[in-house]
Amino acid sequence: MFYKSISAVVAMTLASSAWAETDLPFALDWKFEGPSAPYFHALDAGYFATADLNVTISEGSGSLDAIPKVATGAFPVGFADINSLMRFLDQNPGAPVTAVMIVYDKPPFAVVGRKSLGVEAPADLEGKVLGAPPPDGAWAQFPIFAAETGIDADAITVEPVGFPTREPMLAEGNVAAITGFSFSSTLNLKRLGVPDDDISVLLMADYGVDLYGNAIIVNTDFAAANPEIITGFLSAVGLGWKDAIATPDAAIAALMERNPAADAALETERLQMAIDANVLTDFVAENGMGTIDADRMASAIEQTKSVYEFTTEPDAALYFDGSYLPTDGSLMLK
């Protein structure tokens, strides 16, 4: 009877452990807006719970924001610009952080201007004032954009601005253009009353900038010790995006639960812009979400080298590790 009781206790303990959820804080790059809806949908749909994960999602303050949070271990997973990650690792060699899943296969880095202020093409920026937040991922890539388009960057007056004042300054005509994410700046300007036909969006990827965009990043020490947790997390993220593509309204409903002050119609449009221009590219439709093309990554590194002096020779293996990507079909979006 004694041994039977011990066996029962052990069995109950093992069952309890098997069902215990792992707490996993997730650091976003920005506020709770349309493109973050798939993560909240994955939460509400139980995709994270199915992977035995208790995920909490925190907003960020720019493309660079999540990188040090994850590198220090404060957050095991985050969402950040992979190009900024390259520079961070160059400046902080050996930092335990890398990208494991590309989300924005086509980056949303853009220069957004107003036609009424004379900005419709890259060359129009010369002689104008450009508003750029210093921590902005798009601003970090602007030198590549300038080099690829042949514009004279010295002929542009750059006004450092804060994220909260960026679109208002353009709406008020205090600057002629701004750097930012295409879907964020465009929709923010529309919310501020700027007519849609007065907004010009120069997506850097359409002008020779051959970079990837934001990715899921991980603390490499945590990931190495918990590979199944990372793979489960990425699978849930993929399912969240897959549902958001099929039924964006459901994803936006999950977002509105966390940000009830948001405009649901505007955030639905923002999400759809991200899906159409940045997430569901031809490459992703064919190969699934998350992975990279080695030749394109090599080209992206060369472009970065043209405007940034690495202290050590860049190595793609430091910036992206695809070994945690799930193979269960959760990343096939179509």
Instruction: Determine contact, residues 215/86, Cβ cutoff 8 Å.
Output: no
What single-letter amino acid sits at 102?
A: I
Q: The pTM is what?
A: 0.88
Cβ–Cβ < 8 Å for 24, 53: yes
- For 12, residues 6+ apart whose C-beta sits below 8 A from its C-beta are none
- Helix/strand/coil (H/E/C) assignment for every residue in 284-303: HHHHCCECCCHHHHHHHHHH
What pLDDT, on the 0 to 100 scale, is given for residue 284?
Answer: 97
Report the b/e string of 44-82 with b at 16+ CB within 10 A. Answer: bbebbeebebebebeebebbbbbbbbbbeeebbbbbbbb
d(CA 97, CA 102): 14
Per-residue confidence (pLDDT) for residue 307, from 0 to 100: 86
pLDDT of residue 136: 86
Q: Which helix (H) or strand (E) element contains residue 85?
A: helix 82-91
Domains of the chain: 22-106+212-324 (3.40.190.10), 109-207 (3.40.190.10)
CB within 8 A of 64, min separation 6: which ones? 80, 81, 84, 88, 135, 137
Locate tokens 């439709």: which residue?
A: 285
- The H or E element spanning position 141 is helix 137-149
Residues 6+ apart with CB under 8 A from 273: 34, 182, 183, 186, 187
- Give the model's pLDDT for residue 96: 98
Q: Please give the chain's pLDDT, 334 residues, in tens.
A: 332 333 333 333 333 334 579 999 999 999 999 999 999 999 999 999 999 999 999 999 887 889 999 999 999 999 999 999 999 999 999 999 999 999 999 999 999 999 999 999 999 999 999 999 998 889 989 999 999 999 999 999 999 999 999 999 999 999 999 999 999 999 999 999 999 999 999 999 999 999 999 999 999 999 999 999 999 999 999 999 999 999 999 999 999 999 999 999 999 999 999 999 999 999 999 999 999 999 999 999 999 998 899 999 999 999 999 999 999 999 999 8
